[in-house]
Amino acid sequence: MDTHTTLHRGVYNFDTLDTDIEEVTKKYRGHASLLVHLFPLPYHQYSFAASQVAASLYKSPSFFSKWVETVYLHQEEFYNDRTLHLSRSEVDQKLSQLGPESGLAAAVVLDALQTREYDMALRTSWKYGCSRGVTGTPIYIVNGVLTTPKANTIEAWADIIKPLLQ
């Protein structure tokens, strides 16, 4: 019998991806996969916009990770009080300026912000999180069950995954 475990990682755009969870995925390649569901928190006014760009990069993991890291480094520029007097269009322009730092053309970022497909993908990801009881991040779901490792280490994750693979 071929057993496969799926690790779901709930994030919002101002969070970094865990190196350890990525290492766990590599260690259990072929037996475990990592799915990242973006969960932009509504009290961060522009987290949805930054996450929409990330949603456009799902099929390009290296760009996805780099975009999330870049936004994380610049998150203070997008705090609610820093963007209070800016229009959505002005914030989109500021987000597009992060594109080159993450290896994306500014036009690619602006396109992602205006593409309904990515908007809907992000809404679906957010609804998925809500349907699983997600209220914040990071949250881990393993085979449909909310899971919290004792520590975010490869060893702690192995304690969760190994029994599922037997």
Domain ranges of the chain: 5-164
Mean pLDDT in runs of 10 for the chain (166 residues)? 49 47 78 80 88 89 87 91 95 97 96 95 88 81 78 81 83
How is the beta sheet containing 139-142 ordered, strand by strand?
A: 32-38, 5-11, 139-142, 145-147
- Nearby residues of 108 by Cβ (< 8 Å), 6 or more positions away: 56, 99
Looking at domain 5-164, its CATH class is alpha beta
Predicted pLDDT of residue 6: 55
How far apart (Å, rounded) are the C-alpha atoms in residues 148 and 96?
Answer: 35
- Count the neighbouring beta carbons within 10 Å of the beta carbon of residue 123: 14
Predicted pLDDT of residue 136: 80
Predicted pLDDT of residue 5: 52
- Residue of 42, 17, 57 whose CA lies nearest to 134: 42
Q: How far is CA 130 from the centre of its chain?
A: 15
How far apart (Å, rounded) are the C-alpha atoms in residues 21 and 79?
Answer: 27
E-assigned strand segments in 16-75? 32-38
Predicted pLDDT of residue 119: 94
Q: Is the pTM of this model over 0.85?
A: no
Predicted pLDDT of residue 15: 42
